[in-house]
Amino acid sequence: MAVDGAVLAPVQPRSRSKGGGLWRYILIRLLLIIPTVFILVTTVFFLMRITGDPITAALGGRLPPEQLAQRIHEAGYDRPLIVQYLEYLGNVFRGDFGTTVTDRRPVTEILLQYGSATLELSIYALIVALVISIPLGLIAAYRRDRWQDASLRVMAILAYATPIFFAGLLLKLIFSVWLDWLPVSGRGSTRTELLMGGIDTPTGIYLLDAIRLGNGAAIADVLQHAILPAVALGLLTAGVFLRLIRTNVIGTLGQQYVTSGRSRGVSEYRLVTKHAYRPALIPIITVMGMQIAMLLAGAVLTESTFEWKGIGFMLADYLKSRDFVAVQGIVVMIAVVVAVTNFLVDIIAAFIDPRVRY
């Protein structure tokens, strides 16, 4: 194409603060977290209080009425709702999510103790999801509308349609019970759990702790226990990622620079994995960040299926004992984690792609 000098815009003087747009974007995005978290905390608080106080819900019928009234008074649940709400907001702001009714533990302590288990599971699941979805997504995009694409898409829908706990139960049935290859549940065998208890300042991430111990048997044991939960949670996520990668890579494969690359003799493999895949990464990363919320919800179900003692397992446990202070604390904490993760993902996307900043 001939360049016509006359139509070129006059050169603009470069603005002095080169990264100003990015910092402004980060700041705005950071400020946007506050209303999101605030709305969720408010909604959850009022919803949970509409039908009564948490102490009656947890212990009603098990304690005599006088004792119940005394505990309600001690906890301050007989004061006006608005006073309780303001106090709760203040507490959450200081990082205090309340004390559980049934076993009287601070929710923060529960989160610290079990959060690492959920984190470990989520990381494994994410690895499984990426390892499965990236190559398959690229194949589906490259062989678009052929049989490979069709079967991969059906597989992705099937992964989505299978409830995570059913997938977990099937995996357990096949690999633990019938084939007897892998352990049924838990994060480690009794021996490993005992070893873990003996460490001072544990990270709570069993694999790291096992590596620090330098105990080969413990490392193998921890990994064996992690395989089934990670695959169950990872498969569901992989289905979503696969479709995402397929759609976006189809978009970039149709671009003219790919055709021009092909005409210059760039190999098909390189065209797909570099030319088409790299630019498709930005929307993929953004949507993957939004999937963190889904991953956490999936973790609740996976942990219950495999008795993986993380946040989700505890949440289900407290739900059963009707301890709504604990439930509220855990739900609010997850809301904060989701909001912060979405923020981080947006920032990463902004760093990769200047077009995102405004």
Partner 1 sequence: MSIPDSYDEMPTPQTSVLAATPVRRKRWTERVPVIKELRQSVGLQRGMLITGLVITLLFVVIAVFAPLIAPYTWAQQQTADGHSFGTQQAPNALNLLGTTVSGFDVFSRVIWGAQTALLVIIAAIVCSIFIGIALGLISGYFGGWLDRLLVVVADAIYAFPSLLLAIVMSIVISRGQSTLGGGIMATAIAITVVFVPQYFRVIRSEVVRVRAEPFVDSAKVIGVPTTRILLRHVLRNSTRSLPVIITLNASEALLTLAGLGFLGFGIEATAAAEWGYDLNRAVGDVTSGIWWTSVFPGVAIVLVVLGVTLVGESLNDLADPRLRLRRRAGGRKKIAAATEGAKACDALSDRRESK
**151 lies in the site for partner 1, by CB under 8 A:** no
Which of positions 309-348 make contact with partner 1 (CB under 8 A)? 316, 319-320, 322, 324, 327, 331, 334-335, 338-339, 342
**296 lies in the site for partner 1, by CB under 8 A:** yes
Sole binder of partner 1 in the list 55, 138, 288, 300 (CB under 8 A): 300
User: Which residue type sits at 94?
Assistant: R
In 51-106, alpha helices (H): 54-59, 65-75, 81-93
d(CA 97, CA 328): 8
**141 lies in the site for partner 1, by CB under 8 A:** no
Sole binder of partner 1 in the list 92, 126, 172, 218 (CB under 8 A): 172
Bridge partners (DSSP) listed for residue 63:
60
d(CA 179, CA 175): 5
Nearer to partner 1, 159 or 196 (CB): 159
User: Which residue type sits at 137?
Assistant: G
d(CA 51, CA 151): 49
CA–centroid distance for 179 within its chain? 31
**179 lies in the site for partner 1, by CB under 8 A:** no
**125 lies in the site for partner 1, by CB under 8 A:** no
Minimum gap (Å) between residue 164 Cβ and partner 1? 8
d(CA 332, CA 97): 8
Minimum gap (Å) between residue 162 Cβ and partner 1? 5
Other Cβ atoms closer than 10 A to 214:
8
CA torsion sign, 46 to 49 to 55 to 59?
negative
CA torsion sign, 155 to 156 to 158 to 159?
positive
The size of the interface with partner 1 (CB under 8 A), counted in residues, is 57
Other Cβ atoms closer than 10 A to 202:
14
Nearer to partner 1, 69 or 184 (CB): 184
Sole binder of partner 1 in the list 89, 123, 281, 293 (CB under 8 A): 293
**297 lies in the site for partner 1, by CB under 8 A:** yes
Nearest to 218 by CA among 198, 235, 236, 238: 198
Minimum gap (Å) between residue 202 Cβ and partner 1? 28
Nearer to partner 1, 23 or 46 (CB): 46
Binding site for partner 1 (CB under 8 A): 35-36, 39-40, 43-44, 47-48, 50-52, 57, 144-145, 150, 154, 157-158, 160-163, 165-166, 169-170, 172-173, 176-178, 184-185, 254-256, 290, 293-294, 296-297, 300-301, 304-305, 316, 319-320, 322, 324, 327, 331, 334-335, 338-339, 342
